[in-house]
Structure 1
Amino acid sequence: MPETLISVIGLIAASLTTIAFLPQAIKTWKTKSTDDLSPAMFTLLCSGILLWLIYGILIHDLPIILANGVTICLASIILFYIFKPSQAKKIEHIAIWTNNLEEMKDFYCDVFDAKAGRRYHNPAKRFTSYFLVLSSGARIELMNKGVPALNNSWGHISISVGSKHRVDELTHKVEKKGVEIASYPRSTGDGYYESVIKDPEGNLVEITI
Structure 2
Amino acid sequence: MIDPALVATVGYSAAAIEIVMAFPQTIRTVQQRNDYAALAGVSVGSMLLMLVHSTLWMMYGAFNHDIPIFASHAVNVPMFAVILYFVVRARRASRVAP
Give TM-score scaled by structure 2 length. Answer: 0.83
For residue 93 of structure 2, what is the aligned residue in structure 1? Answer: 86
For residue 7 of structure 2, what is the aligned residue in structure 1? Answer: 6
Greater RCO, 1 or 2 (C-alpha within 8 Å, sep 6+): 2
For residue 45 of structure 2, what is the aligned residue in structure 1? Answer: 40
- The residue type equivalent to 2:62 in the other structure is I
Q: In structure 1, the residue corresponding to 2:93 is in which secondary structure? A: coil
Give TM-score scaled by structure 1 length. Answer: 0.40
Greater share of helix: 2
Segments of 4+ in structure 1 off by > 4 A?
none
- 1:1-209 equivalences under 5 Å are 1-32=2-33, 33=35, 34-84=39-89, 85-86=92-93
Greater share of strand: 1
Query: Where do 5+ consecutive residues of structure 1 fail to align?
Result: 90-160, 162-169, 171-209
* 1:17 Cα deviation from its structure 2 partner: 1.2
The count of aligned residue pairs is 90
* 1:83 Cα deviation from its structure 2 partner: 1.6
- The residue type equivalent to 2:80 in the other structure is A
The 2-side partners of 1:45 and 1:30 are apart by 20
